[in-house]
Amino acid sequence: MLAVVRLRGTVNVRHDVAETLRVMGLKKVNSAVLLEDEKSKRGMILKVSDYVAWGEANAETEKSVKGVAHLNPPRKGIRSIKLKTPAGELGYRGDKVNELIKRML
């Protein structure tokens, strides 16, 4: 399973990117969703990778996030929502996405 967390809003965003976020179920900032690891889902994630953090979900994350979860802002803040990993929080984070979600619960 892949965990996807939306970190940015959709002001001045291309229509197709905003539509992809909506289809994925990420309608609000700080919302998370679990998706099956399929080629089509990865294509959608790559299209919106400038607005989300994503990676492989562990068993604990799968238990805590059911459907679309609306989370709190992360404790101890976010390094940057404009830069991709490793300098910021956006993009592919691997196992570290579980730590981000844990800080947001």
Percent of the chain at pLDDT exceeding 90: 84
**Residue 53 amino acid letter:** A
How does the average pLDDT of the chain come out, rounded?
93
Look up the domain containing 91 and give its range: 2-104
Question: How wide is the angle at C-alpha 24 spanned by C-alphas 21 and 25, nearest 5°?
Answer: 90
Question: How wide is the angle at C-alpha 68 spanned by C-alphas 86 and 94, nearest 5°?
Answer: 25
pLDDT tens, position by position, 22-70: 999 999 999 999 999 999 999 999 999 999 999 999 999 999 998 899 9
φ/ψ region of 2 (left if φ > 0, alpha if ψ in -120 to 50, else beta) reads beta
**pLDDT band for position 3 (cuts 50, 70, 90):** very high
User: Which CATH number goes with the domain that contains 52?
Assistant: 3.30.1390.20
Q: Look up the pTM and report it.
A: 0.91
Residue 77, pLDDT > 90, answer no
> How many domains, the chain?
1
